[in-house]
A and B are shown apart, each in its own frame.
Chain A
Amino acid sequence: MNHGQHFCGTSAHDISRRVFLSQSLAVGSGALLGTSGAVHALDEDALNAALKKTGRNVILLWLAGGASQLETWDPKPGRPTGGPFASIPTSVPGVHISELMPKMAKRMHRTTLIRSLNTGDGGHGTGAEMMLRGRKNEAALQYPDLGAIVAKELGRADSKVPGYVSFYSQTEGRGSGKLSPAFLGARYAPMNLDDGPMPPNLSRHDAITDLGHRDRARLRDLLSARFTSGRETDTMRSHSAAYARVHGLMSSEPLFDIELEPQWVRDRYGPSLFGQQALMARRMIEAGVSFVRVSRAWWDSHGQNFETHAEMVPELDHVMSTLMDDLDQRGLLDSTLVVAFGEFGRTPGVNASLGRDHFANAWSAAMFGCGLQGGAVYGKTDDDGNTVTEDEVGAGELFATILAAIGIDPDKEYHVGTRPIPLVNPGIKPIRSLLA
């Protein structure tokens, strides 16, 4: 089956992502990226093999508003708190998940579950802030979020694509958690794609030709080189790097054009916005983006929890399983970690509106991909899901586990002035038994 342009497979085409990007960006969007769909060509085996060697990436499926653990990963069928859904067996003997997730059930041997999150914060804003940082901000110190850390640690200094992209198309809860690179600096801030798949003002102005655009860049580079000669400072370097990134982004415009994906691939992800953005995330990971957050809001089902989950969980099941298969078939699952959680779970108790409320004391997260033991289920809750009974996990431990899975030492320290800032709070350790 020919799903696009193929490399011949010789060593001559065993190029690195850096080489590919520099070549493709050098020729601009007209020759390679534009007409032949070079971004699509990134799906070639040789290139993906090279990409796989170069680094790891993360896709966060952010389940904003708080999905119910009882209707996903930790069902309690037949219990007073269990709700009406049954549980189904999975490909891991003895492990059952909600009947709403038959596709992930078949892929449980490649999935890692944590069923014992006790993060203690049932507020949308504060919970999101903590789950995205692994800890709460201090009054005098804001911590960088997960995406910013991954972009800094795994992003390539010479990358022309953004290191960190965030999709959040729904408006509810968009501001929760306040994505921020904090002291890492704006270089690691997310590119927010909230209102559409394409960054605003990305295209070259119609009045400027491609040749003119490149001539301007060369002139700026020439003048800049002369000016900075003998004046090497961080500011100068940052200034030049910023221009390079802008040019890189402009020439990688096809990266954001999902129409360049074959129809069968788009169909595979399904018609939902969440599915299409998950496909975008895969394209970005292939192109060298280190961290992509795909947000699916809004799970905050205080009323009609079961109908809301009947609507949204099958979509999650489809998107997660498709993403897993797609990454796997492209040889990217060994270099990409996919994590799915939100700011908290939902109460075991069912309220009079047949809703479940905020609950952070005993809930679940799911992950698959690089650095993890597939099929592992960590932690346990009681029969009704009210408390964690085994292997309690806090936001910090989850954060540390994610970092360790992608090869970042959670004990690494940054410095703000003279103050050392470890990536996770002192004493917090990753869950070693979940790491591959």
Chain B
Amino acid sequence: MSTTRNFQIAEEKKVSRKDILFSLARVPGTTTVFCGSSDGTVYHADLAEEKPEPVALEGEIRHRPGGYVTGLALADGNRRLVSGAYDAQLIWWDTETKKPVHRVENAHGKWIRKVVASPDGRMIASVADDMVCRLWDAGTGKLVAELQGHRIETPQHYPSMLFTCAFSPDGARLATADKTGHIIIWDVASRKEIAVADASCMYTWDPKQRRHSIGGVRSLAFSPDGRTLVAGGIGQIGNIDHLGANARLRFFDWEKAVTLAEVEATESKGLVERLAFHPGGDWLLGCGGDNGGFAILIDPQSHKVIYEGKATFHIHDFSLTDSPDRFIAAGHNGLVVKKIAVV
């Protein structure tokens, strides 16, 4: 049930699947999407079809079966798709032929969690549980730089995880965020760390009842003017057997090192897996889930939740379409097209 005030999100099309889709990239100006699967495969589909049937990208190069494909990014004028997976590989695909053209076999030492392209499409950033962010030339696939600043271990001496990253709209800044809630903002040109932000409220360490941890910052987004950085995750969890806490976002004026707001979506349980601003700054969309899924809209000015609603499934990634009142979401057992409407 949604607590609609001015907005409504409705499902327009659904593609059911047996696998889990972790990543999504939409080719601008088309209805073609690429999605990364739990089976280690990248699929493409034309969502204009009445009953879209995702087709696997095939070739001599591929990800390891079972290596969750968690990152997809279109780059180099949309001629290339870069996929990153838990098998630590990055693979460059030709978006026309749908064939692999380049591979970096050990792009990272551990699971790749996210792959994003710079706004100009010339650079790829990947983050992984080796706690390194690597920058790659989108055209050649050559390693350009390594950004190291996240701790390898949590304060409790367990391996940490580097979940997400996001470029600022002008491409000059890159933010990376880890399991403990530590966020670093990098100057892309100099490769220097220029600011940090704290979202440790999204990391739960249970020292007594269960003695392990859960949570972390799962999504980042810069506002269209680049001044505000938003981190998405989950609040402190009482019973860490489950994702049993409300979705949570923290807004930062990262240049002034000020936390602007903390937002809890009280009807949405689980992780905020993906965030994206409306191009005009009208709203911020967040999607994610626990055993179910959710979509939330936040007013970027007031930081108020202006829409909360359940999604068909736990959403791991989404992409706004050319018309931002529609978005395509990928997640647990499916792919959906949703429409955001003002009512």
Chain B residues lying within 8 Å of A353, measured Cβ to Cβ, are 242-243, 270, 289-291, 314
Q: Bits for B210-249, please: 1 = Cβ < 8 Å to A, else 0.
A: 1111100000000000000000000000001111100000
Do the beta carbons of B241 and A84 come within 8 Å of each other? no
Complex interface: chain B residues within 8 A of A78 (CB): 40, 64-66
Select from chain A the residue with minimum beta-carbon distance to B158: A311
Report which residue of A65, A86, A169, A303 has the largest number of chain B beta carbons within 10 angstroms of its beta carbon: A303
In the complex, residue of chain B having the shortest beta-carbon distance to the beta carbon of A309: B212
Q: 0/1 per residue, A38-70, Cβ < 8 Å to B?
A: 000000000000000000000000000100000
Q: Could you tell me if B292 and A311 are in contact, using CB atoms closer than 8 angstroms? A: no
Pair B210/A172 contact, Cβ less than 8 Å: yes
User: Which residues in window 303-321 of A have CB below 8 A to B?
Assistant: 303-304, 307-308, 310-312, 314-315
B292 contact set on A, CB distance < 8 A = 352
Complexed CA–CA distance, A88 and B292 (Å): 33
Q: Do B158 and A315 have beta carbons less than 8 Å apart?
A: yes
CB pair B210 A303 closer than 8 Å = no
- Inter-subunit contact B211/A303 (CB<8 Å): no
Cβ contact within 8 Å between B157 and A303? no
A86 touching B291 in the complex, CB below 8 Å, given contacts A273-B211, A352-B314, A355-B242: no
Let me know if A304 and B214 touch, CB within 8 A: yes
A174 to chain B: closest residue by CB: B209
A77–B65 touching, CB < 8 Å: yes
Q: Is the CB of A302 within 8 A of B66?
A: no
Interface string of B275-305 (1 = CB under 8 A from A): 0000000000000011111000000000000
Asked if A374 lies at the interface with its beta carbon under 8 angstroms from chain B, I say no
Q: Which of B66, B129, B240, B313 contacts A86 (CB 8 A)?
A: B66
Which residues of A sit under 8 angstroms from B111, Cβ to Cβ?
84
A297 vs B39: C-alpha distance when bound (angstroms): 30
Q: Does A106 contact B (CB under 8 A)?
A: no
Q: Shortest distance in angstroms between A358's beta carbon and chain B's nearest beta carbon?
A: 11
| Interface contact A307-B214, CB-CB below 8 Å | yes
**Contact partners of B209 in chain A: CB under 8 A:** 170-172, 298
> Would A352 and B313 count as touching, CB distance under 8 A?
yes
A186 to B18, CA, bound (A): 54
Interface of A is mostly: loop
Query: A308 touching B211 by the CB < 8 A rule?
Result: no
Q: Is the CB of A302 within 8 A of B210?
A: no
- What residue in chain A is nearest B239 (Cβ atoms)? A172
Given contacts A83-B66, A308-B214, A310-B159, whether A298 and B313 have CB atoms under 8 Å apart is no
A271 interface residue per 8 A CB criterion: yes
Interface residue B67 (Cβ < 8 Å from any Cβ of A): yes
**Cα–Cα distance between A390 and B152 once the two chains are bound (Å):** 42
Q: Mark B301-321, 1 if CB is under 8 A from A, else 0.
A: 000000000000110000000
Nearest-CB residue, chain A, relative to B39: A80
Q: Are A297 and B211 in contact (CB under 8 A)?
A: yes
B136 at the interface (CB under 8 A from A): no
Question: Does the CB pair A303–B243 fall under 8 Å?
Answer: yes
Closest to B316 in A: A354
A389 at the interface (CB under 8 A from B): no
Chain A's closest residue to B270 (CB) is A353
Smallest Cβ-Cβ distance to A75: which chain B residue: B66
The verdict on A301 contacting chain B, using a C-beta distance below 8 Å, is yes
Q: A302 and B208: CB pair below 8 A? A: no
Which residues on the B side are within 8 Å of A279 (C-beta)?
Answer: none
A327–B67 alpha-carbon span in the complex (Å): 37
Q: Roughly how many angstroms separate A350 CA and B19 CA in the complex, as a whole number?
A: 10
A172 to B238, CA, bound (A): 12
Considering only CB atoms, which chain A residue lies closest to B331 in the complex? A352
Q: Is B92 an interface residue (CB 8 A)?
A: no
- Least Cβ–Cβ distance between B87 and chain A, in angstroms: 8
- Bound Cα distance A354, B314 (Å): 10
- B152-167 residues with Cβ-Cβ distance < 8 A to A are 157-159, 161
In the assembled complex, the CB of B44 is this many whole angstroms from the nearest CB of chain A, namely: 21
Say whether B20 faces chain A, with CB atoms less than 8 Å apart: yes
Residues on B with beta carbons closer than 8 Å to the beta carbon of A296: 211
- With both beta carbons as reference points, the residue of chain B lying nearest to A351 in the complex is identified as B291
Q: Does B332 interact with chain A (Cβ within 8 Å)? A: yes
- Say whether B34 faces chain A, with CB atoms less than 8 Å apart: no
**Cβ of B86 < 8 Å from any Cβ of A?**
yes
Most chain A CB within a 10 A radius of its CB, from B40, B240, B289? B240
Closest to B110 in A: A310
Instruction: Report if B252 contacts A (CB, 8 A).
Output: no
Q: Complex: how many Å from CA A298 to CA B289?
A: 23
For the complex, what is the distance from the CA of A300 to the CA of B209, rounded to whole Å? Answer: 12
> Is A345 close to B, CB under 8 A?
no
Contacts of B332 in A (CB 8 A): 352
Q: Quick one: CB contact mask for A70-83 with B, threshold 8 Å, 1 for yes?
A: 00000001111011
CA of A182 to CA of B305, assembled, Å = 57
Residue A36, interface by CB 8 Å: no
| Pairwise interchain contact A303-B39, C-beta atoms closer than 8 A | no
Set of chain A residues within 8 Å of B211, measured between Cβ atoms = 169-170, 273, 296-298
Contact yes or no, A84 B86, CB < 8 A: yes
Among B63-100, those with CB < 8 Å from A are 64-68, 86-87
Residue A272 interfacial (CB < 8 Å): yes
Give chain B interface residues in 11-35, CB to chain A under 8 Å.
18-20
CB distance from B236 to the nearest CB of A (A): 14
Query: In the complex, how many angstroms separate the beta carbon of B114 from the nearest chain A beta carbon?
Result: 15
Q: CA–CA, A302 to B20, complex, Å?
A: 16
Chain B residues contacting A84 (CB-CB under 8 Å) are 38, 66-68, 86, 111
A297–B87 Cα gap in the complex (Å)?
29
Interface string of A315-339 (1 = CB under 8 A from B): 1000000000000000000000000
Q: Is the CB of A302 within 8 A of B158?
A: no
Binary contact readout A256-278 vs B (1 if CB under 8 angstroms, 0 otherwise): 00000000000000011100000
Contacts of A310 in B (CB 8 A): 129, 159, 161
List the B side residues contacting A85 at CB < 8 Å. Answer: 66
In this complex, what residue of A is CB-closest to B332?
Answer: A352
Scoring A172, A297, A355 by chain B CB atoms within 10 A of each residue's CB, the highest score goes to A172
Closest-by-CB residue of A relative to B157 is A271
Interface residue ranges of B34-68 to A (CB < 8 Å) = 38-40, 64-68
- The interface residues of chain B lying within 8 Å CB-to-CB of A80 are 18-19, 38-39
Nearest-CB distance from A230 to chain B (Å)? 54
- What are 15 A-B contacts with C-beta separation under 8 Å? A79-B66, A84-B66, A86-B67, A169-B211, A170-B210, A303-B240, A303-B243, A304-B214, A310-B159, A311-B158, A314-B159, A351-B291, A352-B291, A352-B292, A352-B293
A-B complex: 8 closest residue pairs judged by Cβ atoms = A78-B65, A298-B210, A352-B332, A303-B243, A352-B314, A84-B86, A172-B209, A303-B242
